Amino acid sequence: MLAGVFPVSPASARTEHDEQLWANFTVIGNVNKFAYFVEAQPRIGNGISRTQQLLLRPAVGYRLTDTVTAYVGYAHVFLPIENGRDRNEERIFGQLNWALPKVAGGSGLLRTRIERRTLSHGEDTGWRLRQLVRYVHPLGNPKHARPLIQIEGFVALNKTDWGARDGFDQLRTLVGFEVPLFGRSTMDVGYQNQTINDPGGRIRMNHTAAFTFWIRP
């Protein structure tokens, strides 16, 4: 059963590695029961030599309970192509955030997101499901950095003429620290491994220095 979702790579499958740098600047907050976030993400790859993606993603939400918030949003992804015509991706998404009860003294979060995706070089609409699990463990002093682990799996729900295949799409695993900044703002810093299942049995593995700035007014 698992083989249908997480395919077993044949002996001939090849893995391509890249070193990348991702930065994420997110302003997030709430007004009474309403919530919002706005984020900008430049992603630099090809041996940290050029920008491969620039993602802009705003969303508005509503607190359903003290621990569950629902969002709807839009993302524009600019995809510069070296020596070629640039591409763009448009996404409309729905998202649910669950704040988990304390686990071993730490705080957890589940985030479920479904995306409707279109790309400028194709006609089809793709659908993708993403599930994130996040855990942060305090070390006593609230001013100290806190160990962080975050895992997010992606599953494509259909095939498209621009390359999406139904089934396992990618897995991101982040290990690092949540660092207090000012007020309630924090920064995530760490190493992220991104494993992508590409067509033709090709696996891409990106080794990423990841920085996320959570600005909470």
Per-residue model confidence as pLDDT tens digits over 86-109: 999 999 999 999 999 988 889 999
Distance CA(1)–CA(195), nearest Å, equals 21
> What's residue 198's pLDDT?
85
Q: Which domains does the chain have, with CATH numbers?
A: 15-215 (2.40.160)
Top pLDDT among 164 and 5 is at: 164
Distance CA(147)–CA(136), nearest Å, equals 6
Q: Out of 18-32, 87-101, 192-206, pick the least confident.
A: 192-206
Distance CA(119)–CA(100), nearest Å, equals 35
Sign of CA dihedral 56, 62, 68, 72: negative
SS3 120: coil
Per-residue model confidence as pLDDT tens digits over 143-160: 899 999 999 999 999 999
pTM: 0.90
* Residue 49 backbone dihedrals phi, psi, to 5 degrees: -120, -20
Question: What residues contact residue 183 under an 8 Å CB cut-off, 6+ apart?
Answer: 216
Distance CA(184)–CA(114), nearest Å, equals 28
